[in-house]
Amino acid sequence: MLYRTEGIVIKNIEYGEADKIATIYTKDYGKVQAMAKGVRKTKSRFGSSLEILTDAIFLLYQGRNIDTVSQTEIVESFFPTSKEVIKFAFATHCAEIVNKLTEEREANITLFNLLKIVLHYLRETKDPKLLTLSFQWKVISILGYKPSFDLCCRCNKGVEDQKIGGYFSIKDGGIICQNCVSKDNRDYRQISNYFIRLVKKILITPLATISKHTIPQGRVEELEEITELYLAYHAEKGFKTNDFLKYL
């Protein structure tokens, strides 16, 4: 069966002497794996459409184990050159997050649009780290992992905003009240009220708006630490691009 859809290449690997297997996050079908035959040849009809972070219209043939790329038409190449290494690294991190947190052929147009938006604004923002972290929290929310910030995630009682901050459980997914913290369970991390307010703000603010702002380094570090732990827990593994970002 032939089908046509827009998609963003989030991963590719070389296969054989001239082929590639691309992982494409599509608008209509979610994540799909597709073989592009002869794409690595100099005169390939696919051109650069199978390069990572390329948005294209794909004509695909659905196979039993893997699909085959029949035709492509580039919509936009987000990072066609490697001049902006840092922004490219953050962009590939966003792609890896989508790849690792999604199952094949589970359509999610909201997530597709979010990925497209973050790749667009990563080219313009002055704070790619904040934009990428904001993208991650929006992905967390879209996929149903949004943490509880108003009710204790253990006893379900209201959590008052305290000057000293609060306590966050990666495993339970949210804020823990003082009463539950006092029960000698150390499965939590202390967080600031700024962190709570920041994540709440991120979840309701468009990435286009966030891309124009920045926050103090100390605040970014707290946001980065909790975000990385929370995502890794739900992905059940770490992210390779995290190591490269820390190196940069």
Residue (of 48, 36, 57, 51) closest to 91 by Cα position: 51
pLDDT (tens digit per residue) in 72-127: 999 999 987 667 899 999 999 999 999 999 999 999 999 999 999 999 999 999 99
Structure tokens at 86: 């840092």
Rounded to whole angstroms, how far apart are CA atoms 82 and 134? 24
Write down the pTM of the prediction.
Answer: 0.93
pLDDT (tens digit per residue) in 164-210: 568 999 999 999 988 888 876 677 899 999 999 999 999 999 999 99
Structure tokens at 207: 């990435």
Report the pLDDT averaged over residues 214-227. Answer: 94
* pLDDT at residue 184 in the model: 66
Rounded to whole angstroms, how far apart are CA atoms 211 and 52? 22
Lowest mean pLDDT among 31-45, 107-121, 139-153: 31-45
- Split at pLDDT 50, 70, 90, the class of 41 is confident
Residue 162 clears pLDDT 60, i.e. is over it: no
Structure tokens at 45: 């009809």
Structure tokens at 165: 């901050």
* pLDDT at residue 138 in the model: 98
- Split at pLDDT 50, 70, 90, the class of 42 is low
* Higher-scoring residue by pLDDT: 80, 214: 214
Report the pLDDT averaged over residues 221-240. Answer: 89
User: Residues for the chain: how many in total?
Assistant: 248
Residue 13 clears pLDDT 70, i.e. is over it: yes
* pLDDT at residue 247 in the model: 60
Q: Are 207 and 118 in contact (CB under 8 A)?
A: yes
* pLDDT at residue 136 in the model: 97
Q: Are 84 and 37 in contact (CB under 8 A)?
A: no
Burial classification of residue 48, based on how many CB atoms lie within 10 Å of its CB (0-12 exposed, 13-18 middle, 19 or more buried) = middle
Residue (of 247, 248, 242, 246) closest to 96 by Cα position: 242
- Split at pLDDT 50, 70, 90, the class of 48 is confident
Phi first, then psi, for residue 108 (nearest 5°) are -150, 90
Report the pLDDT averaged over residues 4-24. Answer: 95
Q: What is the DSSP letter of 189?
A: E
Residue (of 52, 208, 6) closest to 120 by Cα position: 208
